Amino acid sequence: MHPVFLLLIGAIFIFVTNIIQIFIHGHKNRYLNTLLSISLFGIGWFVMIFLLTASGGIQHYPILYNKGLPIYYLIAPSFYLYVKGSIDPGQSQFKISHLLHIIPALPALVSIIPYNLLDTDEQRRVLKGLVNDMTLLFSPHPYIVGNWHWIFLPSVACIYCIFLFANIRRSRRSSGLTKKATIWLYSYTVVLTLFFLCTLTATLKAQFDINGPLHVFRSGTFVFLGCLCIFTLSLLFTINPEFVLGNRSSKSDDPNGVLPNDQQSLPDRAGKSDPAENEPVVVISHEERTQRKIGSRPKIIDPVLINKVEVLMKQKEIFRQSGLTISEFSAYCDVPNHKLSELFNSHYKQGFNAYINHLRIEYVKRRLQQGDWKRFTLEAISSDAGFVTRNTFIVVFKKLTGYTPSSYIAVLKKGIS
């Protein structure tokens, strides 16, 4: 079998495996899972149709042909929105403005309609003619999509990749991404860009190659490079599955910067108390102190604020942001610090740090109960939950569960509830 085909078959297998794992083990919200799956599925479908077309086998599966073009247009936009949502919790839910990204796919949807209105026998005749004469791909034909798609599609995708680079760079500068996540995103975007550039170059070359399009598709240098890019894309997901399965760690891990809360909370060898576990200091205004002295009733907590906190913490899982402080969280909620302090102390009956540590431990327990300890290290799982250091994680885990993480895993292995 041709090396190109072997590369693509391997890539399809890995992509399918990744899509399955996203839905089984993924910890992002459903919208982000869907966006990533669309991107991966689009690439996988593109590879499958390319293999069938180049090998001539597509004539035996007419129902598959001319179905994926609109999805190809969504590969880059879906990954772009996925990355934005992974970096910025405010973009992790569907917004009406996101529908603008499907506009380039609409002409593709119109282009595939004529072929799909044919009956199966007529579709088979069209494909038989295509297999015998691949130049039909680049000639006007009522049932084969226009050649301009294969120029416009990768061009639009490359533009999205440029915006991806800018978004990653901006997020890294604002300490929104760890170094590891930044390297992974840059690597994936570079390879994705190369893939679309190879697609564009191979399409242009196939129209003018004296040996015909089939020679370019089977043996062309740019096609081989494009296939290598696809295989590399699939491997990148395998190399760093944590980002795919929900790790959107943020905050710079720069050792020269200010230590996040969790790192500051490490107990030292002298046995000092762990400040990360202490309740945050509640700043009380002079007016509030006066009201307390005269025995006035406590302020009623705003239910809208409670809902906002619940959405950010439990749906968008913002507690997984490493080093999250109440000041940063107040910026997300767009309310003053003292109102949040009052909310956590009055409504949740605990301080901000204690609250997010509780959510982090519950998140870790869910991952361990799902069997993630078989695939990831405890450091990786605790880092994904928002803990900066292993020691802090162990201290908090034992305090809230009564077990060390290793003992908890041992209990799970024995099947003891």
Q: Which of 18-27, 33-42, 62-71, 98-107 has the lowest mean pLDDT?
A: 18-27
Q: Please say if the pLDDT value at position 248 is more than 60.
A: no
pLDDT on residue 98: 92
For 210, half-sphere exposure in the C-beta direction (CA atoms, 13 angstrom radius) is 0
| Residue 22 in this model has a pLDDT that exceeds 80 | no
pLDDT band with cut points at 50, 70 and 90 for residue 70: very high
Sign, CA dihedral 33-36-42-48, equals: negative
30 φ/ψ angles, rounded to the nearest 5 degrees: -60, -35
Q: Per-residue pLDDT for 164 more than 80?
A: yes
What's the CA dihedral at 210, 214, 215, 218 to 10 degrees?
160
pLDDT > 90 fraction of the chain, expressed in percent and rounded:
17
Q: What is the mean pLDDT of residues 179-207?
A: 84
Q: What is the pLDDT of residue 25?
A: 55
CA distance 78 to 58: 27
Q: Which pLDDT belongs to residue 154?
A: 92
CATH C-level class of 3-244:
mainly alpha
Mean pLDDT of 270-278: 39
H/E stretch holding 346: helix 337-346
252 pLDDT tier (thresholds 50, 70, 90): very low
Residue whose structure tokens are 């077309």: 53
Domain ranges of the chain: 3-244, 261-414
| 374 DSSP assignment | G
Nearest residue to 380 via CA among 247, 258, 289: 247
CA distance 76 to 151: 15
Task: List the end-to-end C-alpha distance of the chain, in Å, as a whole number.
Answer: 52
pLDDT at 72: 92
CATH topology of domain 261-414: Arc Repressor Mutant, subunit A (1.10.10)
Tell me the C-alpha distance between 131 and 125, whole Å: 10
Whole-number mean pLDDT of the chain?
76
Quick: pLDDT tens for 123-134.
999 999 988 888
